[in-house]
A and B are shown apart, each in its own frame.
Chain A
Amino acid sequence: MEEMPAGGHPTSAFPGTDVSRSPGACQKAGSPIPLFRMQNLWYAYPDGIQALSGVDLDIFSGDRIALVGQNGSGKTTLIKLLSGLLAPALGEVLYKGKNLADEHLDNSRLTIGVLFQDPDDQLFGHTVMDDVAFGPRNQGKSREAAALCAEQALHRVNLEHLAYKEPHNLSYGQKKRAALAGVLAMEPGVLILDEPTANLDPGQEAVFLDLLKAFEGTLICISHDLIFLYELCENAVVLHHGSIHHNYTMRELVSRRSALREHGLDFSFRLRIPANGVPAHDENGKNGRGTLSDAGASALDDPSGHAPLVRLKSYGYVYPDGTSGLQGFSLDIHAGEKMAVVGENGAGKSTLLACLCGLRQGQGDLYFTGDRVTRKRAKNLWRRVGMVFQDCADQLFCASVQEEMLFGLGRLGLSPEQCRERAADALARVGLAGFENRVPLHLSGGERKRLALGCVLAMDPDLLILDEPTAGLDPRGEELLVAILETFDKTLLLVSHDLFFVEKITQRTVVMHQGRVIRDLPTPVFMQDDKLCHLNGLSFSYRQRTFTAIQKLQHEHEHRHPHRHIHDHEHRHDQTVHTHPHEHVHDHPHRYVHNHPGGQKNHDHARRRVHDHDHPGHDAEPHDHPHE
């Protein structure tokens, strides 16, 4: 049984929350019945985890809503309740005015499309066509009519040429689109999406964005990627510990850094990516990464003159089925270098990493610290090379965090005491001290990622490889990861589609395509490459456009000028002590978020504007204002 807080409505317990409005409430004021009405929803999982606590929310037809919040805030549970996959422990979900149960639930499922995070969960058919036609057949359509719907849906996602392929033979991006086609074929009035762009390369992400923008019904989307959500949604519902904390328009959400920070969603640290060659400025007008010429001088040359840490010379790898993973691949990685490898899905990045770790052996020369890596030496590369996998569940399999930490350490030949010391140091380094007895499976996504990193860092590798480290992380998790990596002083190889990480962490970027290196540039040069937006799947154009738009909304800097406040605090007028909202003028320095013309243009901070910022000690200041 879940616990109800005593004393009334649970959401009112949070100060400063804004849950009064419903998405679409303003524009749909004339619409009497919301499409979804959630009333005092509570849900707890059988293991006792309270996932939702008193959620009230109305969603109107045509709304486009982003459900945001930290990992574990209850977003996925909420969409399961919305789609009738879970029944609330308390409260009710009304869809089109009726309780979502029994026959109404069966009928509703045929009009509510749900796109799950992992496409393999959703593609259970024998062929793509079987799968996409599954929904229409359940809607009662004949085989021919369902096939027609499926063909049209596959055409919309540009997969008609793969209609009869088995789903397990599709690429990840194709699977995602096939799963979306399976939902679209049912012509749903509501589309519920759980992390629709997770693990997609930017090119595929842009395709997905266009497809979803073209959807005309009600859209509810969970994502940690606020840039993507900003383009797609109009309203944002912020969940925190199973309750709705804020209910904003998307513009309001991204411009309120305090609210974003409160919920671990502040992605503003990402907004310093240069947009099409124009470096964004911070408070001091610098991008914090040094100048282009600094990086350019050091990125490609070995600063010490020693043999590179890793050298690949005309290296090739062919999979047993004949697929070429790497061909004629040559690359030097110098000790201490921070390097990124980018490229579209299927460019050969994962194959390269597997070869560097000794998990695969190809044809050609691979040298590590000047020594040729033979088949025998490759088996011991794990002592020098550590890798954090894209899905950290692939490398976490022990019953406790401590066991997990000791798994690799124990094989290094260290004494038990040394192992424990190193494990404790690494756990502290990744912010997981005290987690020793926790079960890795029960940790949040961000904690698991940091645990996987801690396991590798504890082994003190000469080369650390990170494969898509930000996949599935919320912004706070990303920020923590950046902080940890900034303290790492050995060689780092980062594989990522995330330009922010590439720009933030690395000095050199290698672009791969079809198993070859096609660009090898200092990262600042790569970031300013005009052709970047069109480079084999690395289409970042919409992200750059959105960055610029949000930067204008989020501009924050310090000013000092007279400005107005609205206060609501206890104050004295002669003998009268009272409280009421009132407005008066101050002149003091303050940090201030406001719309901005962009770049370094001059701009006027309107004096009459009411400012929103902390005002410490104001209660004690004398007041003089008229009363009616």
Chain B
Amino acid sequence: MTDVPYIQVPLWYLPFLVVIPAGMAAGVVSWLKHRSKNRVVREKDPDWSIPPLTQGSGQGTSLIHRWDVRCKIVTMLAYSFAVASLRHLDAAVAAVLVSLAVLMVARVSLHKVVLRLVALAGFLGMLLVVMPLTVPHHPGDVILVFGSLDWLGVNMRGVILAATIAAKATAIALLMEPLLSTAPLPVTLYGLSRLGVPDMVGQMVLLSYRYLHVFSHEARRMTAGMQARGFVKKTNMDTLRALANFLGMLFVRSFERTERVFDAMQARGYKGRFPEPGQLQIRLPDILLTGVWIAAGTALVFYDCTNV
């Protein structure tokens, strides 16, 4: 422990360096969460008579939208693995900047991007709080101590490590929206199937996406049915029994619905495969964009490796 330098700062630094930034970050996340839940409905409903991704106002016509879905999947997955392998904060921050640039090019819905980040925020926030206090002390680490609070030693290496992980996670999460919302889901899944993922996996994802809404709606109605007869969640056996019944019934209803859905599919000629949603064709611009992006990922990795 003698190799570890301790830097003692006055206690009043604590609010400025830790409490206020952490509080502000928590406040922003809570506000975003609240806003995303209570967003005001759009005054004008989109024109649903034409595919949403081909409507005016620029959305649906970007470079990322036009990119062949197979190239997009392979490139973004490869790039995500490259970002995940980064070890230094500056390289991770550069990856975030690249992702932001892609967001701007793709012109995807900022609201959905924020929703993804908010979902990630709790996990990342926990890392940022816990890691500075818990990473093992290595020779060369700098420990910040506030006043006489010796037990509250903030390891700066832990801070940087947590920030690097957070930046990498953010960079990858920011790419999910350009990956998933720049082509209709069936097309993306078809692309996956053309890349060798079994058809059945794609079909299951597609149906799960569709019926998740139905099942969650059923669950909400059943919860209301229980509340209407006085059910309140408590920590006791009665609650456990009621929840077990609830989950059992939800499972039975979901199972019965899957059988009915399968019947309905068969009745309209389904024989194990969904019709192909469209023709996929790789053109030169697709290959060029793939090349540029892979090169950017390689450059990031190279920069990270050479950064001592």
Contact = CB atoms under 8 A, between A and B. Distances in A.
Interface in B250-275: 252-253, 257, 260-261, 263-271, 274-275
Interface of B: 37-41, 47-52, 184-186, 206-207, 209-211, 213-214, 218, 221-222, 224-232, 238, 242, 245-246, 248-249, 252-253, 257, 260-261, 263-271, 274-278
Of the candidates A121, A127, A412, A456, the one having the most CB atoms from chain B within 10 angstroms of its own CB is A121
Interface of A: 80, 83, 85, 106, 109-110, 112-114, 116, 118, 120-127, 129-130, 133-135, 137-139, 143, 146, 160-165, 167-168, 182-183, 186, 320-323, 354, 357, 359, 379, 382-383, 386-387, 389, 391, 393-399, 407-408, 410-412, 441, 455-456, 459
A408 B232 CA distance: 11
A164 B50 contact: yes
A493 to B, nearest CB: 14
A186 B268 contact: yes
Contacts of B246: 397
Contact of A161 (B48, B221, B249, B277): B48
17 contacts: A110-B269, A135-B269, A138-B270, A143-B276, A146-B275, A163-B49, A186-B269, A322-B41, A354-B224, A389-B221, A389-B225, A393-B253, A394-B218, A397-B246, A397-B248, A397-B249, A411-B231
Nearest to B247: A397
A354 B225 CA distance: 10
Nearest to B210: A124
B230 A137 contact: no
Nearest to B269: A138
A164 B269 contact: no
A118 B222 CA distance: 18
B232 to A, nearest CB: 8
Given A161-B49, A412-B230, A109 B267 contact: yes
Contacts of B213: 168
Contact of A164 (B40, B49, B257, B265): B49
B275 A138 contact: yes
B48 A163 contact: yes
Contact of B257 (A80, A121, A123): A121
A320 B229 contact: no
A397 B225 contact: yes
Contacts of A397: 222, 225-226, 245-246, 248-249
A455 B229 contact: yes
A322 B39 contact: yes
A130 B277 contact: yes
A124 B229 contact: no
A40 to B, nearest CB: 24
B38 A320 contact: yes
Contact of B261 (A85, A112, A124, A143): A124
B252 A459 contact: no
A85 B214 CA distance: 24
Contacts of B245: 397-399
Contacts of B253: 393
Contacts of A391: 221
Contacts of A106: 269, 271
B265 A124 contact: yes
Contact of A134 (B222, B232, B242, B275): B275
A395 B228 contact: yes
A382 B268 contact: no
A391 B220 CA distance: 13
Nearest to B232: A379
A137 B52 contact: no
Given A162-B48, A163-B48, A441-B252, A116 B266 contact: no
B229 A121 contact: no
B184 A118 contact: no
Contacts of B271: 106, 138
A83 B267 contact: yes
Given A120-B214, A321-B39, A160 B206 contact: no
Contacts of B41: 321-323
A164 B45 CA distance: 12
A380 to B, nearest CB: 8
A513 B111 CA distance: 32
Contacts of B186: 126, 130
